[in-house]
Structure 1
């Protein structure tokens, strides 16, 4: 009996010892995963958290839709061939970028890169919108030339006169300023230091993640000015000195604090967001075809309280930019204040009318949906960080800024100080790959050497498919700009790898252009008084932000 009792006790002790606590342990190895203070995966938090919504953004759940399906096509424009596409979930600005938002960007540039300093004298001027876009030889528009960008009466109006290149640079700046604030909020940098930095002490998200000691010009009083050391050591009391030395220094991507980059939306994302198809769906089918971002076939509201009100700001007919003054007026003759009209089903404002908007894509007449129907985008140029033979990174400094001379003669900084130098990917990244084999993919399967049209059975046309005019411009040692207009008669198109798509109707456009599927293009260095932009951001993690529920509940 005693033997049976001892055996039972032994079995019980063994079974109890096998009930291991796998909380905060790896499902791969069983080793402890105790956050930043040590363990087998000391740089990873054990609990995943979803992406936060960045300032100004609205979440858009991705899905499938028909891209390029226009309701009206009176000129039989063949660049709107319908194709079924799928976009991943993403975020988009609730409204267009306003004059006030853009002025914040300009004020920051002026403060950090004083134009009276030789190294910086072209940075601010490269970002200032072209206010002369308002001029018309037969129109009195000087009021807008002088006031539209800076007068407080227009502060909440969409910024215009901004080229595609300027919109891209604004998006990069916005990314770094948002992430810089997030870094400070968790006490990883000195409080309010971001308000007092200079051109050689800037924060770049990519630089911080890849080479954090180069951030803020390596100024330790900013990098070590926060309370992070005290906070990080509290993650686990048994952290070793070695573990603390290498894991508690800087925030990492695995911490999930930094947001993905603000950027221009792709053409497919913009069109999907503008359609707002969620309002006319039944399970996995769409109940109808939408002509506008709102339901219905008319531009005026049919709701009882708003009946007759215009739902967008557009040109109603010749000489009619707003309508007859009074209740039937659309309340705008040029642009209107953002959010002046009802949002679409996604909660996004002004996706039709007000201003047309830049998107990220390089323009081509057709969409190559036979090659890709997932997150479609034409314009990929793959780069990588430039590194020295010893593995150290090359960073742009105030004395190494490279300026590109645009066809207009203006100078545009390729990168700003504080950013890691970017170079094209090479054979180290492309060798024996099946998905890409070059850095520049803007003309992939359309206009490149492999796509040139055969003139005869045995010869190939020496001209590329797209050969837009090439205007030569140069700046001599004295600063004089020399421009040479391309007068060649051999040019057959206005399309090249530097023309970008813009979408949506504007205050200057007829109703025809309000259809989200319509598309137009303009060189990326040009600006107008009717094109603005808004930013987007990729969604990482789950496709949706809410749990799916049965339709009956």
Structure 2
């Protein structure tokens, strides 16, 4: 199938999102349902998903904004922490993708035909870690300049094999691939949020704003864990941290959610599809509880299968992404694990009713 055919197929898939215009959503938390431990209620609403008009940093894939309706749900107050993930691993024996032996037969399916197998010394479990540049980087679109494949990097060793999470139970767990996040959710009786749910939760009471605190970016270092200074060369650490920070290190949004901007990126369930927002907008309908595109499509890499991550991280800087904005979104492959990518979970009313006592 050629590129044009792939794009046509993807467009046909994302067009199946029509819904009635008059939609009722669950706004109030049911009186007979308590918030699960560590979670808060996010009231349902009909709102504009995507970039707001006044956001001058918004990227094309955040546009056009379109109206969606989302039922109320419960969301983790913080990103899942090392301590929480360790409990899951201790109880289940789960092994993350970054810790597993590399399957060359599976890997070569994602590579050009005829790609030679790397030496066994390279084909070892690991993950992507950040590395500072020694001098200014003229091309900030070449991510390879600050990412390095590190053998032995995983959630237990987030900065490489010699690093440790000892004493860091309250830090967000990272190097979590999509499959790893789903496994945790199944164990916890939770699920990952959709992109629409994530945005609704992030904006809180700040309807139609760029950031979860409003439209003013001043004082960012007191509101979120991001990169201060020249990226990726010098981090002045005016926010107190060079990389990850313990959860709850910065003020929460109006719904009591911490780190909805910065610290680490968070997985959502939506496929990344560069056609999707335009298709939804063109349909001129309001989707209820949208699940995103039914097929992945990235116009820069038509055969990529990627999910959307939200919220930005400690590496976000205004010089190239400012992804601590509510509408900000990035694509990442299902098997990707990185030192700035984690997750938080949500629970529907039905899931909360079935919460283990």
Normalising TM by the smaller chain, what interval?
0.5 to 0.7
Cα distance, 1:494 vs. partner? 2.1
Is the 2:304–2:333 Cα contact (8 Å) retained in structure 1? Answer: no
What is the SS of the residue equivalent to 1:59?
Answer: strand
1:416-427 to structure 2, matched below 5 A, reads none
Matched, 1:500 2:310: no
What is the SS of the residue equivalent to 2:160?
Answer: helix
Matched, 1:133 2:128: yes
Is the 2:97–2:335 Cα contact (8 Å) retained in structure 1? Answer: no
What is the SS of the residue equivalent to 2:60?
Answer: coil
Change in Cα spacing, 1:135 to 1:310, as seen in structure 2 (3 Å) is: closer
Is the 1:357–1:504 Cα contact (8 Å) retained in structure 2? Answer: yes
| 2:210 corresponds to which of 282, 291, 299 | 291
Cα distance, 1:127 vs. partner? 7.6
Matched, 1:531 2:338: no
Matched, 1:50 2:64: no
TM-score for the superposition, normalised by structure 2: 0.67
Change in Cα spacing, 1:83 to 1:157, as seen in structure 2 (3 Å) is: same
> CA–CA distance in 2 between the matches of 1:372 and 1:271?
16
Provide the residue aligned with 2:223 in structure 1: 311
> CA–CA distance in 2 between the matches of 1:333 and 1:153?
17
Provide the residue aligned with 1:355 in structure 2: 264
Cα distance, 1:340 vs. partner? 0.1
Change in Cα spacing, 1:358 to 1:314, as seen in structure 2 (3 Å) is: same
1:120-269 to structure 2, matched below 5 A, reads 124=95, 126=97, 128=99, 132-134=127-129, 136=131, 144-146=159-161, 150-175=164-189, 262-269=190-197
> CA–CA distance in 2 between the matches of 1:74 and 1:522?
21
> CA–CA distance in 1 between the matches of 2:84 and 2:331?
25
Cα distance, 1:320 vs. partner? 7.5
What is the SS of the residue equivalent to 1:153?
Answer: coil
What is the SS of the residue equivalent to 2:84?
Answer: helix
Cα distance, 1:76 vs. partner? 5.1
Is the 1:299–1:310 Cα contact (8 Å) retained in structure 2? Answer: no
Question: How many residues are paired up?
Answer: 270
Change in Cα spacing, 1:125 to 1:293, as seen in structure 2 (3 Å) is: closer
Provide the residue aligned with 1:68 in structure 2: 50
Provide the residue aligned with 1:342 in structure 2: 251
Encode CA deviations 1:455-491: one digit per residue, 9 max, x unaligned.
Answer: xxxxxxxxxxx4x7xxxxxxxxxxxxxxxxxxxxxxx
**Over 6 Å off, 4+ runs:** 137-143
Cα distance, 1:136 vs. partner? 4.0
1:16-27 to structure 2, matched below 5 A, reads none
> Structure 1: which 5+ residue stretches go unaligned?
1-47, 111-122, 176-261, 281-285, 302-308, 380-441, 448-465, 469-491, 542-553
Is the 2:225–2:241 Cα contact (8 Å) retained in structure 1? Answer: yes
Cα distance, 1:153 vs. partner? 2.7
Is the 1:106–1:128 Cα contact (8 Å) retained in structure 2? Answer: no
Encode CA deviations 1:374-425: one digit per residue, 9 max, x unaligned.
Answer: 111126xxxxxxxxxxxxxxxxxxxxxxxxxxxxxxxxxxxxxxxxxxxxxx
Is the 1:321–1:332 Cα contact (8 Å) retained in structure 2? Answer: no
Change in Cα spacing, 1:540 to 1:526, as seen in structure 2 (3 Å) is: same
> CA–CA distance in 2 between the matches of 1:528 and 1:127?
9
> CA–CA distance in 2 between the matches of 1:354 and 1:160?
11
Matched, 1:375 2:185: no
TM-score for the superposition, normalised by structure 1: 0.44
> CA–CA distance in 1 between the matches of 2:59 and 2:132?
32
> CA–CA distance in 2 between the matches of 1:500 and 1:72?
24
> CA–CA distance in 1 between the matches of 2:201 and 2:234?
26
Structure with bigger RCO (C-alpha 8 Å, 6+ apart):
2
Change in Cα spacing, 1:55 to 1:131, as seen in structure 2 (3 Å) is: farther
What is the SS of the residue equivalent to 1:124?
Answer: coil
